[in-house]
Structure 1
Amino acid sequence: MAKNLRVLVVEDDAIIGMDIEHRVKKLGYEVCGVADTAEEALDIASRTHPDVALMDIRLRGEVDGIEAARMLRDTLAVPVIFITAYSDMKMRSRALDMDPLGYIVKPLREVELKNTLEAAEEKIRAG
Structure 2
Amino acid sequence: MTSNFASAVGASLPHLRRYARALTGNQTAGDALAAQTLEALILDPSSSAEDMPPKVALFRAFHRVWTQAGTPLDEAQSHIEARAQGHMARLTPLTREALLLHAIEGFLPQDIGAIMSVTPETATDLIDTAIREMEESVAGRVMVIEDEAIIAMDISAVVREMGHRVTGVARTRTEAVRLARETTPDLILADIQLADNSSGIDAVNDILGEFQDLPVIFITAFPERLLTGARPEPAFLITKPYSEEQVRSAVSQAMFFASTETLAA
1:93 pairs with 211, 215, 227, which one?
A: 227
Name 1:83's counterpart in structure 2: 219
Matched, 1:119 2:253: yes
Per the alignment, in what secondary structure is the counterpart of residue 71 of structure 1?
helix
**1:20-31 superposed matches below 5 A:** 20-31=155-166
| 2:211 aligned partner, one-letter code | L
State TM-score, norm by structure 1.
Answer: 0.86
Cα separation, 1, equivalents of 2:183 and 2:254? 19
Spell out the pairing of 1:1-127 with structure 2 (5 A cutoff). Answer: 1-77=136-212, 78-87=214-223, 89=224, 91-93=225-227, 97-125=231-259
Residues 94 and 60 of structure 1: CA distance in aligned 2, closer, same or farther (over 3 Å): farther
**How much does 1:100 deviate?**
2.5
Distance 1:5 1:101, change over 3 A: farther
3-state SS of paired residue (1:47): helix
Matched letter for residue 239 of structure 2? V
State the distance in 1 between where 2:222 and 2:183 align. Answer: 29
Residue 123 of structure 1: how far off its partner (Å): 1.9
Is residue 10–residue 54 contact of structure 1 (8 Å, CA) maintained in 2? yes
Q: Deviations 1:62-114 (Å, cap 9, x if unpaired)?
A: 53011111111112323311000123x3x123697334341000112111111
**Structure 1 residues 126, 8: CA separation in 2 closer, same or farther (over 3 Å shift)?**
closer
Letter in 1 for 2:245: V
What percent of counterpart residues are identical?
A: 35
Conservation of the 8 A alpha-carbon contact between 1:72 and 1:79: no
Q: How many residues align?
A: 125
| Counterpart-to-counterpart distance in 1, 2:244 and 2:254 | 15
8 Å CA contact 2:215, 2:254 repeated in 1: no
User: Alignment partner of 1:76: what SS?
Assistant: coil
The amino acid that maps onto 2:205 is R
Q: Higher helix share goes to which structure?
A: 2
